[in-house]
């Protein structure tokens, strides 16, 4: 990262965006923070009552735990796997175009179509169980048991791997090829090059990719919701399920407190990513 | 299917708006329009001097109205009105014998007024075997009958002629409900047949010269009578998309010869379009008049020479009457007070109440919002498979947004809404005063269903009672679901109408609900297991309907239709049926079936804790609504006898006057009715059940009403809980998976929901 | 040669998984209603056995497409609504977020990092959290029930700022310095150096933005009451179970624009990446 000039001029670039963001995002979010200290229907100040309620709420604890578990499992998997693919394709640039297109395709499928497909595939009388039956394996209820968690992880990987791969490729493209050549001349092995040159140079890209993967991890809820409904298997009952249900039942008090807590957790995670980078 | 996510909102459009072609930036909706134009058609209801069946209605050039009718004694009568229907006088004619019915063989089928004031009458004779069944005569001003050279014939399918029209060129049009036939005026040969894919009656087509215009549901089709070819089409999708699927969708047409203009009228209002032009103009907003009333059947439209509009209507119970509309240039085009009414599903009861109230209170305008339009789901708002459930939750979230933003509707129907949560959050206003002022009229136990900590948060306008009927031995033995299962297993030759898991669960869940939960609110796993195992046994007894319709994409029928079941039982196809008793319309076939079978009986379902009723059409008031007083006044009306006397099979009225009025025979003549039901058994063989019906005897009605009134316990159904039951027990009740698994999974989900 | 291509086996195998759902949608969309329901009845109607699927229909038919394109006038209205929404949103995002990303990437001023962090946290908030508050803001601005209620918040989404920022950061400072030595002002540097070199970032933000807004479900459902203003993403979920064929046909049609944007955007992406890698 180049040295940034000190500049108020930068503000001019940001100002239009900041004004709009304030109106359409920041003010609403501020309102949510205010509501987290109020009773449900815009009523009076209740202090930390909502936070107490939420933190002792069984459903919230389950959903928060599930969400954390989901992130902890799927993000490393996605980041590592997409990097691996990016490395492979980086080595074969002439074939990369085809694969990039193919791997990005899942992103283009409308959410509702994905849901329809998943129903057909993972239903207890669905295609996947049909294939398994051909192989002599007993069918499972994919969406009904703890396997649902892994179906969701797979969905997330399926949908986002192409995207992350392309981002990694863009990151790889910024590493001057001369660095690799120099290392090769010095007799460095593939692993050494990967650890000593590739990875460190990808770190700036890592932050972006990690944050985007986090963003997309939250989005996978749409599919989960469309396939398994408001009360899916315990293992994939995520924070958004709970938020959705609270909202349906007019529990804005709990929703606001839960949202603020979630925002705090997200902030901590991002600071953590940042720290990891700066610590480098 | 899970792809159902979207919520649908149905908004009745404001008068003068011509559909919704909006681009980014065209704001509309939320705020009441700042500038309200002047001028509106106001409605009057005119009744005929005597109850009779209208056979034909017409007007001459001077605007003199004539109605050819039959009195309750079946005698022909010609009424005449010179003041656009305000007063009527009988025009004395010496009717020919074959029309007075005194010859004992002839009866009038249909008739049509001709330009010169004479009447074209089609009658049939029953006894003459070889003679053509139909005779066509022209009755002139003195009553002289002149036989016509030709006569139409019934359709090949046997369906009789239901309307006539003589064109300028002398061709004769006759309709048979599903088609319209054009006969050559001289030879009587059929020249052309028109099939609009919808029903054809006297009012649904009109003729101008060689132009035939007929309603085809989504559009009006125009034909050239010379060639029989369709020349063009007037799209009515813009209006018909606002018509509820459940409501009657007829459209009646007429033309104005001088103006070369076509007028048409449906639930959404009255429209005018120049023939050959494309623009449609809405003259009357149906939602501001009785036209939007679901109980109404539109018969005939007339435009008077002074531009007043007459609509001939028929309504069950009320018979024939006229609606007359006159333009008032000094009345604001939109009423000043707007009341917003919300329900998750379309409610005919609400539409009826709004329509009636609107007419007497022209300053009130209703905006009726429906969370989910269409017929994708049934009345409880839940079904197996989570698709429609998410559809509803989406609608509820949209509603939550509005309520939280203090932009919510004034009046809410709690059916399918998270009522307890709304109450706990203080979203609903206390209706004690409304209920108190109506106390003498309402069934007290039903009215009190939603009293919590001294306050009354909702009043059900209607209620249903889960019942069982059929063979006395079984009905008497079936003290609860388990005893019913015992009896059916001991009598394997007996057939229960519906053994679909979903149907059984829907019916029995409310009956058993109080047993399935502990004091703490947690589900009682042991009780749940017992309950499910009994249901599983019931799914295995012989049933007429034990699988959904397969193959052709039809939805599985999950709601039992007691009318059909009564016919099936009356003819011995089934032995027993259980279902929600939701309207007195069921009484006629049920009473006749009881009469016929002799060994029959009926009683409310019981889960061991006594029978229950289900509150329906639960009226509630948004505590943040800005029109509290106006809303309450309307709610009082919505609970009145007038608002609730029409029976839409949406439940029985809470209003005792309306309730007992429903138990009276709407037709004192009590003509014999006939029903038949056909279907296929599981094994592919088909059955036909027939039943001749009459209004039941006093004693039976009394027994039924006594039973219904003795049910004191309300069983409000939590939509989410019922949905969880449906989802989690589906496999077990269908024979996959074990009871333990199902019960454990069910209780886990319930505790998740209850823990939120 | 073979050895060199060995690693490509992995992406090759994965492509099958990636593409399968497409073939499923495409195959199903030209299948007769009878064939569809026979194949899928175990899933849709709780029949016995398993659903089965050959990718090629036995009796191909264009009926579902005919039904969709000729008999569903609403589909067209919704399709064009989506196109309209996309056009306004993407142009707006270009105008607002590209400069903002430049401002964050190339200038450092007091609070700029904190502000950027705030942007990231706001980006990660699930929609449900701020739904009510956004509704109030939009209502206050009299935007409810218009397309602007979708467009404006989307224009000020912080996501493209975040994504493009990454690509701007990768532009070597030296390039800019040399430009300034040549007398180019900050704005000209942005225009003539930033924009061309950040092309990959801008393109990927636009492509992703397109997909995101093409699939929008919650926002239009909450903010737009008039059905004739709804976008295509709400058409799919409305189709009921009896009409699987129609649903599949609609999926395919809804997918096409996304696919085109992909294929076209892909070239842009490639060029951008190439441009970035040869920049020194």
Point out the residue among C139, C226, C236 whose CB comes nearest to the CB of B22.
C226
- Asked whether B567 and B689 are in contact (CB, 8 A), the reply is yes
Please list, residue by residue across A147-156, b when 16 or more beta carbons sit within 10 angstroms of its beta carbon and e when fewer do. Answer: bbbebbbebb
Are B5 and C237 inside 8 Å of each other by CB?
Answer: yes
Res B139 pLDDT > 70: yes
The winner for highest mean pLDDT among A232-236, B316-320, B334-338, B454-458 is: B454-458
> Distance of alpha carbon A103 from its chain centroid, rounded?
17
Looking at residue B674, its pLDDT comes to: 84
Q: What would the mean pLDDT of A175-197 be, rounded to a whole number?
A: 83
Looking at residue C196, its pLDDT comes to 84
Residues from chain B contacting residue A228 (CB–CB below 8 Å): 2, 386
DSSP per-residue codes, B132-193: -SEEEEEE-TTS-EEE-S------TTSPPP-EEEE-TTS-EEEE-BS-EEEE-TTT--EEEE
Interchain contact, B5 vs A112, CB within 8 Å:
yes
Average model confidence (pLDDT) for chain C? 78
Could you report the per-residue pLDDT of B708-756, keeping only the tens digit for each? 999 989 998 888 899 889 888 888 888 878 899 899 989 988 988 988 8
**Regarding predicted confidence, which is higher, C151 or C11?**
C151
Residue given tokens 């998309």 in the structure block: B241
pLDDT over 50 at C277, yes or no: no
Does C100 score more than 90 pLDDT? yes
Q: How many helices (H) and strands (E) does chain A have?
A: 14, 1
Q: Using one digit for the tens of pLDDT, what is the confidence trace for C211-230?
A: 888 888 888 888 887 778 88
Residue A229 phi, psi dihedral angles, 5° rounding: 80, -170
B2–A227: do the CB atoms touch at under 8 Å? Answer: yes
**Measured CA angle at A264 (ends A262, A265), to 5 deg:** 65
pLDDT at C3: 54
Give the mean pLDDT of A112-126.
Answer: 80
Q: What percent of chain B is modeled with pLDDT above 90?
A: 32
> What's the length of chain A?
280
Q: Is the ipTM of this complex over 0.85?
A: no
| Residue contact C221–B7, C-beta within 8 A | yes
Average pLDDT over residues B80-103: 82
pLDDT at A65 over 70: yes
Tokens in use for B404?
Answer: 């939280």
Residue of B1, B389, B404 for testing the chain C interface, max C β-carbons within 10 Å? B1
What pLDDT score was predicted for residue B36? 65
- Would you place residue B33 in the very low, low, confident or very high pLDDT band (cuts 50, 70, 90)? very low
Interface test with chain B among A38, A249, A257, by most B beta carbons within 10 Å:
A249
Contact in structure between B442 and B656 (CB atoms under 8 Å): yes
Q: How far apart are CA B644 and CA B378, in angstroms?
A: 21
- Which two tokens mark B726? 């449906």
For B347-360, the pLDDT digits (tens) are 889 988 998 898 88
Question: Which has more pLDDT, B633 or C78?
Answer: B633
B404–chain C Cβ distance below 8 A for any pair: yes
pLDDT value, residue B268 = 83
Q: For C166-213, how does the pLDDT look when each residue is reduced to its tens digit (9 = 90+)? A: 888 878 777 777 776 666 677 788 888 888 888 878 888 888 888 888
For residue B381, what pLDDT is reported?
A: 33
Pairwise CB contact (< 8 Å): A250 & B427: yes
Phi, psi of C260, deg, nearest 5: -60, -45
Contact C25 A240 (CB under 8 A): no
Integer Cα distance of B627 and B337 in angstroms: 9
Residue B12 has a pLDDT of: 27
Integer Cα distance of B695 and B688 in angstroms: 22
The answer on pLDDT for B102 being more than 70 is no
Suggest the residue from C37, C146, C224 to mutate for an interface test with chain B (most B CBs closer than 10 A): C146
- State mean pLDDT over B465-471: 93
B386 has a pLDDT exceeding 70: no
pLDDT at C218: 81
pTM over the 0.90 mark: no
pLDDT of residue A177: 80
In the predicted structure, residue A218 carries a pLDDT above the cut 50:
yes
- Between B384 and B513, name the one with better pLDDT: B513
With b meaning 16 or more CB within 10 Å and e meaning fewer, what string describes B265-303?
bbbbbbbbbebeeeebebbbbbbbbbbbbbbbebbbbbb
Mean pLDDT of chain A: 85
Where do the H-state alpha helices sit in C192-243?
195-197, 199-214, 218-223
| Chains in contact with B via at least 3 Cβ–Cβ pairs below 8 Å | A, C
The C-alpha atoms of residue A156 and residue A118 are separated, in whole angstroms, by 13
- What mean pLDDT is predicted for residues A112-117? 80
pLDDT tens track for A33-53:
998 998 877 678 888 999 999
| CA atoms of B96 and B77, how far apart (whole Å) | 12
Residue ranges of the alpha helices (H) in A145-196?
147-173, 177-185, 190-193
Helix intervals (H) in C107-198: 112-124, 127-140, 148-155, 159-169, 173-181, 186-189, 195-197
For residue B622, the model assigns a pLDDT of 95
Report the residue of C44, C45, C84 to disrupt the B interface, i.e. the one with the largest count of B CBs within 10 Å: C45
Which of B400, B506, B555, B504 has the alpha carbon at shortest distance from B721?
B506
What confidence tier does B243 reach under pLDDT thresholds 50, 70, 90? very low
Chain centroid to Cα B177, Å, comes to 20
Q: What angle do CA C185, C190, C195 make, to 5 degrees?
A: 150
Among A232-246, B185-199, B371-385, the range scoring the smallest mean pLDDT is: B371-385
Evaluate if residue B380 carries a pLDDT over 60: no
pLDDT tens, B397-426? 889 888 988 889 999 999 999 999 999 999
- Residue B379 — very low, low, confident or very high, per pLDDT cuts 50/70/90? very low
Q: How confident is the model at residue B382 (pLDDT cuts 50, 70, 90)?
A: very low
pLDDT number for residue B716: 84
Residue B555 near chain C (CB below 8 Å) = yes
A273 and C CB contact within 8 Å = no
φ and ψ of B15, to 5 deg: -65, 140
Residue B374 pLDDT more than 60? no
Closest-approach residue (CA) in chain C for B552? C34
Average pLDDT score, chain B: 82
pLDDT score, position B156: 75
Whether residue A75 contacts residue A211, with contact meaning beta carbons closer than 8 Å, is answered with: no
Do A116 and B3 make contact, defined as CB atoms within 8 angstroms?
A: yes
Tell me the mean pLDDT in the region B463-487. Answer: 92
Q: Residue A10 has what pLDDT?
A: 79
Chain A residue with the nearest C-alpha to that of C133? A28
Candidate from C38, C73, C240 with C-beta closest to B1: C240
Rounded to whole angstroms, what are the CA distances from B195 to B192, B230, B235, B486? 10, 11, 17, 53
Which segment of B286-290, B366-370, B645-649, C31-35 scores lowest on mean pLDDT? Answer: C31-35
In the stretch 161-190 of chain C, residues with CB closer than 8 A to chain A read: 161-163, 166-167, 169-174, 176, 186, 190
The number of C-alpha atoms within 13 Å of C94 and in the hemisphere containing its C-beta is: 15
Nearest by CB: A108 against C4, C167, C255: C255
Are C69 and A141 spatial neighbours (Cβ–Cβ below 8 Å)? Answer: no
- pLDDT reading at C89 higher than 60: yes
Contact B731 A226 (CB under 8 A): no
CA separation for the pair A227, A96 (Å, rounded): 33
Mean pLDDT for C100-123 is 88
Contacting residues of B for C225, CB less than 8 Å apart? 9, 11, 29
Is C243 in a helix, a strand, or coil?
A: helix
Nearest CB to A17; choose among C21, C97, C106: C97
* CB-based contact, B23 to chain C, within 8 Å: yes
Whether A248 sits inside 8 A of B756 (CB atoms) is no
Query: Is there a contact between B745 and A144 if contact means CB atoms under 8 Å apart?
Result: yes
Instruction: Check: CB of residue B185 under 8 Å from CB of residue B156.
Output: no
CB B691 within 8 A of CB C7: no
How far apart are alpha carbons B392 and B5 in whole angstroms?
8
Task: Note whether A250 contacts B: Cβ–Cβ < 8 A.
Answer: yes
| More confident site: B334 or C43 | B334
Range with the lowest mean pLDDT among A105-114, A168-177, B374-383?
Answer: B374-383
How confident is residue A127, by pLDDT bands cut at 50, 70 and 90? confident
The span from the CA of B82 to the CA of A91, in Å, is 95
Question: What was the pLDDT predicted at B378?
Answer: 33
| Residue C111 CB neighbour total at 10 angstroms | 9
């Amino acid at each position: 990262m180049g040295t940034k000039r000190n500049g108020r001029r930068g503000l001019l670039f940001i100002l239009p965006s900041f004004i709009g963001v304030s109106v359409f995002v920041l003010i609403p979010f501020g309102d949510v923070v205010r509501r987290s200290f109020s009773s449900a229907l815009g009523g009076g100040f209740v202090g930390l009552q909502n936070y107490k309620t939420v933190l002792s709420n069984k459903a919230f604890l389950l959903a928060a735990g599930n969400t954390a578990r989901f992130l902890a499992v799927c993000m490393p998997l996605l980041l590592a796997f997409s990097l691996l693919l990016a490395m492979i394709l980086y080595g074969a640039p002439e074939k990369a175009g085809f694969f990039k297109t193919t791997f990005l395709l899942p992103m283009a499928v409308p959410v509702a179509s994905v849901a329809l497909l998943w129903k057909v595939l993972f239903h207890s009388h669905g295609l996947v169980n049909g294939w398994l039956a051909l192989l002599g394996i007993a069918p499972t209820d994919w969406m009904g048991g703890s396997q649902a968690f892994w179906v969701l992880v797979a969905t997330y990987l399926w949908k986002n791997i192409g995207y992350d791969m392309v981002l990694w490729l863009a990151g790889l493209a910024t590493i001057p090829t001369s660095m690799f050549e120099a290392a090769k001349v010095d007799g460095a092995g593939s692993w050494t090059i990967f650890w000593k040159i590739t990875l460190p140079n990808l770190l700036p890209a890592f932050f972006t990719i990690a944050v985007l993967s986090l963003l997309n991890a939250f989005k996978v809820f749409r599919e989960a919701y469309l396939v398994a409904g408001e009360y899916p298997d315990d293992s994939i009952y995520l924070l958004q399920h709970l938020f959705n249900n609270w909202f349906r039942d007019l529990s804005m008090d709990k929703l606001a407190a839960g949202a603020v807590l979630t925002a705090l957790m997200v902030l901590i995670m991002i600071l953590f990513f940042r720290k990891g980078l700066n610590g480098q | 299917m899970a792809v159902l996510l979207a919520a649908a909102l149905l908004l009745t459009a404001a008068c003068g708006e011509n559909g919704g072609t909006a681009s980014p930036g065209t704001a509309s909706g939320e705020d009441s329009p700042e500038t309200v134009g002047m001028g509106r058609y106001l409605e009057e209801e005119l009744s005929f001097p005597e109850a009779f069946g209208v056979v034909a209605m017409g007007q001459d050039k001077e605007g003199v109205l004539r109605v050819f009718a039959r009195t309750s004694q079946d005698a022909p009568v010609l009424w005449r009105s010179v003041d656009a229907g305000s007063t009527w006088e009988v025009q004395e004619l010496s009717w020919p014998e074959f029309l007075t019915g005194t010859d004992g063989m002839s009866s009038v089928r249909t008739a049509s007024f001709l330009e010169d004031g004479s009447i074209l009458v089609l009658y049939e004779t029953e006894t003459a075997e070889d003679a053509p069944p139909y005779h066509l005569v022209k009755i002139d001003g003195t009553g002289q009958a002149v036989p016509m050279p030709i006569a139409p014939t019934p359709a090949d399918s046997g369906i009789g002629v239901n309307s006539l029209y003589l064109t300028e060129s002398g061709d004769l049009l006759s309709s048979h409900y599903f088609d319209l036939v054009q006969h050559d005026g001289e030879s009587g040969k059929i020249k052309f047949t028109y099939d609009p894919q919808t029903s054809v009656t006297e009012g649904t087509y009109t003729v101008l010269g060689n132009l035939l215009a007929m309603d085809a549901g989504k559009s009006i089709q125009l034909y050239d009578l010379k060639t029989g070819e369709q020349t063009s089409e007037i799209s009515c999708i813009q209006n018909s998309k606002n018509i509820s699927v459940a409501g009657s969708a007829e459209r009646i047409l007429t033309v104005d010869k001088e103006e070369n203009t076509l007028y048409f009228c449906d639930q959404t209002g009255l429209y005018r379009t120049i023939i050959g032009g494309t623009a449609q103009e809405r003259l009357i907003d149906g939602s501001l008049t009785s036209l939007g009333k679901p109980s109404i059947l539109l018969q005939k439209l007339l435009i008077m020479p002074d531009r007043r509009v007459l609509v001939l209507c028929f309504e069950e119970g009320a018979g024939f009457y006229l609606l007359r509309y006159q333009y008032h240039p000094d009345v604001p085009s939109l009423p000043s007070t707007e009341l917003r009414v919300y329900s998750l599903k379309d409610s005919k009861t609400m539409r009826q109440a709004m329509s009636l109230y609107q007419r007497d209170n022209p300053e009130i305008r209703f905006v009726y919002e429906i969370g989910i339009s269409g017929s994708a789901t049934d009345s409880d708002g839940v079904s197996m498979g989570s698709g429609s459930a998410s559809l509803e939750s989406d609608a509820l979230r949209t509603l939550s947004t509005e309520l939280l933003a203090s932009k919510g509707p004034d009046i809410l129907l709690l059916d399918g809404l998270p009522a307890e949560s709304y109450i706990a959050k203080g979203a609903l206003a206390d209706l004690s005063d409304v209920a108190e002022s109506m106390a003498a009229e309402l069934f007290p136990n039903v009215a009190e269903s939603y009293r919590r900590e001294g306050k009354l948060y909702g009043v059900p306008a209607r209620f249903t009672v889960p019942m069982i009927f059929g063979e006395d031995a079984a009905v008497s033995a079936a003290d609860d679901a388990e005893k019913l299962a015992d009896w059916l297993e001991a009598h394997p030759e007996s057939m229960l109408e519906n053994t679909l898991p979903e149907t059984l669960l829907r019916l029995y869940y409310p009956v058993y609900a109080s047993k399935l939960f502990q004091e703490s609110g947690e589900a009682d796993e042991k009780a749940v297991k017992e309950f499910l195992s009994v249901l599983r046994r019931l799914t295995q007894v012989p049933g007429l309907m034990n699988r959904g319709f397969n193959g052709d994409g039809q939805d599985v029928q999950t709601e039992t239709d007691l009318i059909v079941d009564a016919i099936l039982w009356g003819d011995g196809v089934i032995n027993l049926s259980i279902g929600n008793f939701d309207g007195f319309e069921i009484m006629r076939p049920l009473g006749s079936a009881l009469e016929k079978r002799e060994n029959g009986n009926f009683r409310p379902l019981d889960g061991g804790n006594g029978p229950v009723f289900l509150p329906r059409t639960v009226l509630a008031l948004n505590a943040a609504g800005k029109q509290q007083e106006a809303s309450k006044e309307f709610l009082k009306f919505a609970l009145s006898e007038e608002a609730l006397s029409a029976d839409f099979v949406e439940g029985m009225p809470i209003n005792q006057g309306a309730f007992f009025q429903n138990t009276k025979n709407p037709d004192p003549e009590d003509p014999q009715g006939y029903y038949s039901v056909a279907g296929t058994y599981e094994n592919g063989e088909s059955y036909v059940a027939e039943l001749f019906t009459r209004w039941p005897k006093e004693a039976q009605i009394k027994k039924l009403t006594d039973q219904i009134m003795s049910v004191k316990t309300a069983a409000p159904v939590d939509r989410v809980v019922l949905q969880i039951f449906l989802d989690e027990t589906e496999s077990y009740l269908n024979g996959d998976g074990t009871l333990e698994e199902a019960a454990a999974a069910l209780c886990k989900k319930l505790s998740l929901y209850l823990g939120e | 040669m073979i050895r060199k291509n060995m690693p490509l086996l992995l992406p090759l195998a994965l492509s099958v998984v990636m593409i399968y759902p497409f073939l499923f949608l495409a195959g199903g969309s030209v299948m007769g209603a009878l064939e569809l329901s026979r194949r899928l009845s175990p899933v849709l109607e709780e029949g016995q056995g398993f659903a089965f699927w050959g990718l090629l229909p036995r009796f191909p038919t264009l009926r579902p497409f005919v039904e969709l394109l000729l008999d569903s006038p609403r589909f067209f209205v919704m399709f064009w609504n989506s196109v309209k929404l996309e056009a306004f949103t993407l142009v707006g995002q270009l105008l607002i977020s590209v400069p903002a990303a430049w401002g964050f990437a190339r200038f450092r001023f007091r609070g700029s990092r904190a502000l950027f962090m705030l942007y990231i946290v706001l980006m990660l908030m699930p929609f449900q959290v701020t739904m009510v508050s956004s509704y109030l803001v939009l209502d206050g601005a009299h935007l409810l029930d218009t397309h602007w209620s979708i467009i404006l918040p989307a224009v000020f989404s912080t996501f493209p700022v975040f994504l493009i920022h990454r690509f701007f950061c990768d532009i070597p400072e030296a390039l800019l310095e040399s430009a300034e030595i040549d007398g180019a002002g900050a704005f000209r540097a942005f225009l003539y150096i930033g924009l061309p070199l950040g092309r990959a970032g801008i393109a990927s933000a636009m492509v992703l933005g397109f997909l995101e807004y093409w699939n929008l479900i919650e926002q239009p459902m909450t903010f737009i009451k008039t059905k004739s203003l709804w976008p295509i993403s709400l058409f799919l979920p409305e189709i009921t179970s009896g009409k699987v064929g129609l649903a599949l046909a609609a999926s395919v049609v809804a997918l096409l624009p996304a696919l085109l944007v992909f294929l076209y955007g892909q070239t842009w992406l490639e060029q951008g990446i190439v441009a970035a890698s040869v920049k020194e």
